Amino acid sequence: MIDPLRRWSIAPASAFLAGAVAACSAAPVAISPARPHTATAPEGGEQARRLTLPFDAYDFSPAENMTLEVAEDLLVRDCLRARGMAWHVLPGPADSESEPPHRRRYGILEPEMADVFGYHTPPDRPAVAARKENDLARMTQASPDVREAAERCLDRARDHMSAGAPKADASFFNKTIFASFDASQRDEQVRRAFRSWSACMAGEGFRYPDPLAAITDARWETGQPTSQEIRTAQADLRCKDKTDLVAIWAAAETRIQNDVIRSHPERFQRLRAVKIHQLEVAHRVIARD
């Protein structure tokens, strides 16, 4: 179930945003191939973890979303106990197990990912995958009465998490997230970087106008990464490094996002207040347990 008072937006590929008033969150980046069924994704690389944007202050990272989910789980347990029902609480994975918020925002960023997965979306880290599997098994094995009660208790838990928080404009934030990403691709410095990157790729034998065209190449729609896909992803990274593309692109989007924040101070103050409120509530719930 998606919390209408927390997670913000849905986008094609990598997880990126979450917030306080709409649906759920992800980075506005091109759809990448399906998850391969083998290998384990490495922890986030240095560049991916260093990559931050102004909107991050108003949004929940994957690790912060997990904090909220753990707190909700504890509240559901307490609610079911009051009804005489048992509920096995699932442990939350360490923050290092969660995806960096912008891991695939500008296409692939990490050599260790390119070398194994090419452009394919990596599987969840083991602890995250185990939690999802155990959550599904918990609900599947529960009796109909417990499942129904758990859904009601989850609604109550989410009401508790958001009680007292101000109202925020999720629709505005969703649109702005995507608009800033689209605008960054039209920035002249970014367009020059795209041309330099494209020329570098051509020199390596690959012809793409920009990194998003590379990651969405229909040839990568396979169950497992091909050797050609991996070579392309590796060249993509080398050309990003040579042209400083990621830094240029992130700088452009930073300027755009800061301009939006300055233009709508009250809206963003509310978004920030919602994030702070819900995380504070979550930490109190977890601490008292």
Please give the full DSSP string across 55-107, using - where no structure is assigned: GGGGS--HHHHHHHHHHHHHHHHHHHHTTT----PPPPPPGGGSPPTTTTBTB
The model carries a pTM of 0.83
Burial of 46 (0-12, 13-18, 19+ CB in 10 A): exposed
What's the pLDDT tens digit per position in 84-108? 999 999 988 888 888 899 999 999 9
Asked whether 219 and 228 are in contact (CB, 8 A), the reply is yes
Output the average pLDDT for the chain.
Answer: 87
What's the pLDDT tens digit per position in 145-180? 999 999 999 999 999 999 999 999 988 998 999 999
The pLDDT value recorded for residue 131 is 92
**Mean pLDDT, rounded, for 68-84:** 97
Asked whether the predicted pLDDT for residue 8 surpasses 70, the reply is no
The pLDDT value recorded for residue 97 is 85
**Mean pLDDT, rounded, for 218-243:** 96
What's the pLDDT tens digit per position in 134-148? 999 999 999 999 999
**Mean pLDDT, rounded, for 200-219:** 97
C-alpha to C-alpha distances, 171 to 7, 21, 208, 222, nearest whole angstrom:
11, 8, 33, 35
**Close Cβ partners of 273 (under 8 Å, ≥ 6 residues apart):** 165, 166, 168
